[in-house]
């Protein structure tokens, strides 16, 4: 039941989509190599976009962009992005990257993947996402290598 109508429904769908994404990332986190997790996540997004003919991107971005029509959904999108950053921060911090640098890197990863999803949809090509995944994996490896042991 959604007494507040469409905006409440969109907010609930946004929260659900966020939970699914977090579960997928956490399932990949069992791989101890954060660079590989980032690459795999981007590749899975690219595969998904190719499979749906670039017709369905990230529902969290859609909710964020619809603030005028559904502010509750945009708020849910903001919370979703924050949770994603938390999950990725833990992933990279567990690899030995200091917590402040880990949060910065996690924000870069989430923002880059989301931007690459949008670019891939606009271009009807998975290449922006695949390139972003490779670039982010290289960035994670470089950051890990630069950490004092």
Q: What is the pLDDT of residues 57-97, one digit of tens each?
A: 888 888 888 888 888 888 988 998 999 899 899 989 988 89
Give 91 or 3, the one with higher predicted confidence: 91
Residue 82 located in a structural domain: yes
Residue 108 located in a structural domain: yes
Residue 38 located in a structural domain: yes
Q: How many domains does the chain have?
A: 1
Q: What is the pTM of this model?
A: 0.83
Express as a percent the part of the chain with pLDDT over 70.
79
54-64 tens-digit pLDDT: 998 888 888 88
pLDDT at 141: 95
CA distances to 49, 94, 126, 133, 148 from 53, rounded to whole Å, are: 6, 36, 10, 20, 44
Residue 1 located in a structural domain: no
Residue 32 located in a structural domain: yes
List own/partner pairs for 137-140 with CB under 8 A and 24 or more apart: 137/35, 137/36, 137/38, 137/39, 138/35, 139/105, 139/108, 140/34, 140/35, 140/38, 140/92, 140/95, 140/105, 140/109
CATH of residue 61's domain is: 1.10.357.10
Domain encompassing residue 64:
6-145
CB-CB contact of 77 with 61 (8 Å)? yes
Provide mean pLDDT across the span 22-41. 76
Q: How many CB atoms lie within 10 A of CB 42?
A: 27
CA distance 122 to 125: 8
- And the tokens for 137? 């994996």
Residue 101 located in a structural domain: yes
């Amino acid at each position: 039941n959604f007494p507040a109508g469409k905006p409440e429904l969109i907010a609930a769908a946004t929260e659900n989509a966020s939970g699914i994404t977090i579960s997928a990332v956490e399932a990949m986190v069992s791989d101890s190599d954060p660079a590989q997790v980032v690459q795999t996540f981007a590749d899975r997004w690219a595969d998904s976009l190719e499979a749906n003919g670039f017709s369905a991107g990230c529902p969290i971005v859609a909710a964020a962009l619809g603030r005028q029509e559904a502010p509750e959904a945009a708020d849910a999108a903001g919370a979703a992005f924050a949770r994603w950053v938390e999950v990725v921060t833990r992933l990279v911090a567990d690899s030995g990257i200091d917590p402040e640098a880990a949060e910065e890197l996690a924000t870069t990863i989430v923002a880059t993947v989301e931007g690459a999803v949008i670019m891939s949809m606009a271009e009807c090509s998975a290449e922006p996402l695949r390139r972003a995944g490779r670039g982010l994996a290289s960035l994670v490896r470089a950051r890990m290598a630069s950490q004092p042991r």
